[in-house]
Amino acid sequence: MIFDETAHPHRRYNPLSDRWVQVSPNRNQRPWQGKEEAPAETIRPTHDSNCYLCPRNTRVGGVKNPDYPDTFIFTNDFSSLTDPCPPATDTGHPLLRRGSVSGTCRVFCYSPRHDLTLAEMPLGAICKVVDAWAGQTEELGRRYPWVQIFENKGAIMGCSNPHPHGQIWGVDRLPEEARREDACQRAWHADHGKTLLADYLRLEEERGERIVATNDTWTVLVPFWALWPFETLVLPRRPAARLTDLTDAERAGLADILQRLTVRYDNLFETSFPYTMGWHGAPWGNGPTTHWHLHAHFYPPLLRSATVQKFMVGYEMLGEGQRDFTPEEAAQRLRALPDAHYALSA
Ligand code: H2U
Ligand code: ZN
């Protein structure tokens, strides 16, 4: 038998986080008995008086939101982290290790419009989001080694409020994903003299089969080692280390590529596409950052329709992560979709 990556189970290595993933393309043929009806798309008002993120509304803690014209950032009224936080004491037993963590958690409203998402926002408004991400990175990076920007989108991802928003945390130490990516990128740079993702990007640009969209300054691709069905990696073509290092042209290019990616995601199943996304930029205050290549991960849970989602259970929890169809097929499907949003162009 001759190996065929589109038919035969195999494993792929994620060099960015040092993990293996199992690809099982043969599982495409299995029967599906779960429910598949399309979800009711509710038409949302531009302002919702019950939304704690809309302008002029009062939040749970009693604070009133300003009448903000574009973006708005506030400290989470229910922050996961505090600063200061009492240092964790030693338990005295090596099998009961604990450590300290302190930081701050902010909520970031992308727009005063309750009814929009990144995919539906005009390019100028997405530019404001990019500028705010960079500004927050700069400010929190002065106080914390790790700045985690992320967005949970969609009820399926546990996000209760459809108002377009994300979160920004400043943390006083590297969390697990950051620690893994720092070690992998550091080792690659020491051996090859270039960033891991610069070498990877060159390879992908030559091959083309996993590219979703590209412009002068950015590329979006489905990584060779993607675990989630339509997972993507958003990469600056120049190896910038952080959002704060981007030129004006790169910021504009980022707004463009984010729009093209999120529109494609919505077009895939003609639904407001759920995902968790977030930025990984170089840690602060830990010496040179030449090994680190800025990137965003998009991790969407949908598998084959607006309602059929991928669950990370069973072998995924007990063995290793597994995907069904190949990353190349995911890229090909996303690449083929139009740049115009299905709901806006109707
Ligand atoms: P997510 O939906 O992405 O979890 O973000 C909403 C955040 O908003 C959530 O973390 C906070 C919640 O703690 N929040 C406030 O800070 N004030 C409120 O009045 C309600 C919700
Ligand atoms: Zn709102």
How far apart are the CA of 20 and the centre of ligand 2, in A?
40
Query: Which of ligand 1's atoms lies nearest the C-alpha of 63?
Result: 19
Q: Does residue 293 lie in a domain region? A: yes
User: Could you tell me if the CB of 226 is within 6 A of ligand 1?
Assistant: no
Q: Does residue 32 lie in a domain region? A: no
Q: Does residue 267 lie in a domain region? A: yes
Average pLDDT for 143-149: 98
pLDDT tens digits for range 243-256: 999 999 999 999 99
- Encoded tokens for 220: 């979006």
Q: Please count the structural domains in the chain.
A: 1
Q: Return the ligand number nearest the Cα of 161.
A: 1
pLDDT band (50, 70, 90) for residue 36 = low
Q: What is the DSSP string of 43-110?
A: PPPSS-TT-SSSTTPBPTTSPBPP--SS-EEEE-TT-S--SS-PPPPP-S-TTS------EEEEEEES
- Which CATH number does the domain housing residue 209 bear? 3.30.428.10
Q: Does residue 24 lie in a domain region? A: no
Question: What does the mean pLDDT of the chain come to?
Answer: 95
Q: Does residue 20 lie in a domain region? A: no
The partner residues of 309 in beta bridges, in order of sequence, read 302
Range of the domain at 197: 45-86+98-345
pLDDT tens digits for range 189-237: 999 999 999 999 999 999 999 999 999 999 999 999 999 999 999 999 9
How far apart are the CA of 198 and the centre of ligand 1, in A?
36
Q: Does residue 126 lie in a domain region? A: yes
Look up the pTM and report it: 0.96
Q: Does residue 3 lie in a domain region? A: no
Q: Does residue 36 lie in a domain region? A: no
Which stretch of DSSP H or E encloses residue 7?
A: none
User: Could you tell me if the CB of 73 is within 6 A of ligand 1?
Assistant: no
